[in-house]
Structure 1
Amino acid sequence: MNILQALFFPPEQPGGVSSMVPYILDRFNKKGWEMELFSLPKRIRGKGTEEVVFTTFDWRKYAGNPIVDKYIQTYKDYVWWTKLRLTKKYDIIHAHHPIAGLVMKQLHPETPVIVTIHSSFEKELILNGRIEENGLEHQFLTLLYGELEARVDQMITVSNSFKQYLSDFVQDSERIGVIPNGFDEKRFRPISHENQVTQFITVCRLVPAKGLDTLLIACGELKRRGLPFVLHIIGDGPSRQELEKLAIEQNIYEDTIFYGYMLHPEEFMPFFDVFVLPSRAEAFGSVFAEAALCWLALVGTNVGGIAEQIEHGHNGLLVPVGDAHTLSLALEKVIIDPTFRYNLARTAWEKAKKTYSLNRVLRQLKSVYERYQ
């Protein structure tokens, strides 16, 4: 079979898509499958002019809103770029973003189109303070799930909790498949080491949705209790200046290192002890599985896909969203008890190898693809 993996933007940023799809393509190609990668270059802006029509709702009711207008223009740009660059037919198109899925079905109506929804754009915008819940932008973005259900051949998502979230916006959520992300173990090389001071690491885009304000306040509590640590923050984003200011206010700036963006953080993570990310929402939370494969203890919030990966006290620790004090107590546990920390990390590694292997994803996707032969 000849299969197209259609991404949104190129796989250059950390996250579930970048961590998985290129490796899936490589593995399938080695097994003799024909598979190609397609995406919209970030430099393409304002090129598309073709009118956009959805079958389940009239998007023009939401026109004039900057976020909606930008989304529609990006849709038009994706149409323009796809028409320009794709000249051959495929047996299956597997899209990894709603725009990619809807455009591909519009331009290739006879080709089976599968869409994996990796995250919730609207929830991220709400948590980052850019739109209001139930506002016009929120309504528009959630209506797209119903459009996908009506037009594409198969919807997949990355966790049971995210499938439950989508159920409010589709007619039949039972038709949505769940395939958790998987990772190529060869990318991860755990390193035996002994750090005299506990090293925390987090990897994410620096936006309010990731809850790093909660993490810095929790680390401030640790500092006031006399507990030593170093916090390594990998990633960049609009909240960086605000977070650096908060680190100063919490008197932990000298204990915190802001690295900025890093292309392959998994090469860096094995040297640390604890991965911590108090996200306010996560559809899956790929970076937790990646950290587990680096043999790190995990500390996260009891939300979404994080809670499906971590069994509290067994392979990591879960805390409530936005609760800096409880987070500080969880971090204290892994500071003062290295044996407990080691056991959490070992169990997390064992689960990740078993549950989030790339081979498991390949088997599940192969089963999906073969339905359309």
Structure 2
Amino acid sequence: MVSRLIKNLIVFAAILACCSKAAKSMQGLNEDDDDVMEKRHEDWMARYGRVYADETEKAKRFSIFKENVKAIESFNQAGDRPYTLGINEFADLTNDEFVSTKNGYKRPVSPRNPWRSMPFRYENVTDIPSAVDWRKEGAVTPVKNQGVCGCCWAFSAVAAVEGIVKISGGELVSLSEQELVDCDKGGGDLGCHGGRMDDAFKYIIKHNGLTTESGYPYGGQDLGRCNLTTASFRAAKIAGYEDVPMNSEAALLQAAAHQPVSVAIDARGLQLQFYAGGVFTERCGTELNHGVTVVGYGTGERGIKYWLLKNSWGEKWGEDGYFRLQRDIDAKEGRCGIALDPSYPTL
């Protein structure tokens, strides 16, 4: 009996020793993983010039970075989507932090009436090309970066104006978003605190045009005053603007076949924060919060139709600053609500 008890104790001790060894081994692996991740974070900081105020802030940002990297790599390893994610300059931000600084479109207090009769010059157009890319026609300026100012609405409107001026026989000139941020304060636009593309068009019409980017450069913040001297030179003018009939990707296609179009989308979610390329097919809502510009359309991987969108998050995001959003879906509002509030300037 004693011999059996001793034997059982020896076996039990051996099991404990094995478990302890395995636990230490696993702990070592985790420590190695953290060491690797810390090295990746340091490399990422160097690449994007990120500097933190103190070690506490650095530890907080490292924790967010680590979780984001795990989510990105898990998504890509699954390989079940026609788009991929990447570890970009926003990798140390939570999605809430990202959305609060990178968007800025404000829906009107009174939503657009889908049955209201509005002028739409392209409604009878039937000859629609299967693909359009206004970049190839020289009607799109290089991708810009709004920084941490919530003025996407200004970048979207400016891109649409730059496009129609070029298409109509003028020069492609980079126009000033900062003029809109500083000077367009009479309507619903609030500089870095948000606005709408339609209100930007109204400002440009009322003030007989918009000045150049070089003449009134972008500062990434509300400067607090409108520089009337700088803004006095009018580089481009528009006569009006029109809203595309809402809830109709077909109508949006008619317009985009003829000129770049300002649109608003729901840009929440990690998938858009870290979008790296491909056709974005993710389910998203219709809480419009970000203004971008349709600068083309086509058919991509796996035969998926897409909208080609110019964004204002810099060239290092997405496909050199652009992204492709799934087109022609069953939902009338389109992917991410793209068909809810499109509009374009007219000459």
Range into which the TM-score falls when normalised by the shorter chain: under 0.3
**Larger RCO (CA under 8 A, 6+ residues apart):** 2
Based on CA coordinates, which of the two structures has the bigger radius of gyration?
2
State the TM-score, normalizing by the size of structure 1: 0.24
Q: Which one has a larger percent helix, Structure 1 or Structure 2?
A: 1
